[in-house]
Amino acid sequence: MALQRLVAAAVAVALLSLVLNNVAAVTPSWVLQTLEDGRKRSVGLWKMCPNGGERGRDDLQADRRGQGTQKQCESTGWGSEYAGYQESRSTVKLQFNMMRACNLIATVALTAGQLIFLLGLMKLPFISHESQWWEEAIAALFQLASFVLVIGLVTFYKIGPNTHLSYSCYMDIAACLLATMAAAMLIWNILHRRDDCLAPRVIIISPSLASPFHPRLDNDYVESPC
């Protein structure tokens, strides 16, 4: 029962990682860029928004005349090149494409780990929480999510002098750490259980077996569960 609680705790930590990873993906605040004219904008994995407090004078006058509206966020995708001032477009394109791919792979891995956990609790004939591969598969998926998030985040070690990481990036860093923690908890549990099973088998012989004049049909001994 204690082992099952540890697995459930690891899955709960991975669920929090999944939520943070998805929130970081949909929010448009991965980096905060400064443009050539001094305006600022927030760029996310799938959305780009201008900073409302830094809009140009022409935009403000257009709003006052009623002929324009506040700039809306724009969707971004694969191959977007929203670079800041003195920042390479090709580098920005590679960074965001890599991070989008890693974010999607991590989402799939974390979701698959959650589903395998739930299917194991349902005691289906083809998957059971008592099977050896059940916990190992969940740990492998959580470890995969942690690994790909590290790869994606490492690409942002080099950014332009007028670009700063924003809260969505730090949120994904927290998701990466939580996925790593969940995988570590499961791996520790698996190795600890195997160490117990590698110990010598304990055989307790009943005193009745020591009597040579009382034949018995059944063996009266107890072995360790491993």
Check: pTM over 0.85? Answer yes or no: no
8-state DSSP, 47: E
Higher pLDDT, 187 or 203: 187
For the chain, report the end-to-end CA distance as a whole number of angstroms. 16
The architecture (CATH level 2) of 2-222 comes to: Up-down Bundle (1.20)
Per-residue pLDDT at 54 exceeds 50: no
Query: How far is the C-alpha of 189 from the C-alpha of 91, rounded, in Å?
Result: 41
Give the tokens for residue 104: 């999607």
Q: Find tokens 């160490």 and name the residue.
A: 195
pLDDT at residue 59 greater than cutoff 50: no
Helices 132-154/167-197 angle, 10° precision: 150
Q: Give residue limits of the domains in the chain.
A: 2-222
Q: Look at residue 163 in the predicted model and tell me its pLDDT.
A: 84
Structure tokens at 18: 């999944």
- For the segment 105-145, what is each residue's pLDDT rounded down to a tens digit? 999 999 999 998 888 877 776 676 666 778 888 889 999 99
pLDDT at 66: 43
Query: Percent of the chain scored above 90 by pLDDT?
Result: 25
Q: Residue 209 carries which DSSP code?
A: G
Q: Which string of b and e fits 145-169 if b means at least 16 CB within 10 Å?
A: bbbbbbebbebbeebbebbeebebb
Kindly state the tokens that stand for 100: 């989008």
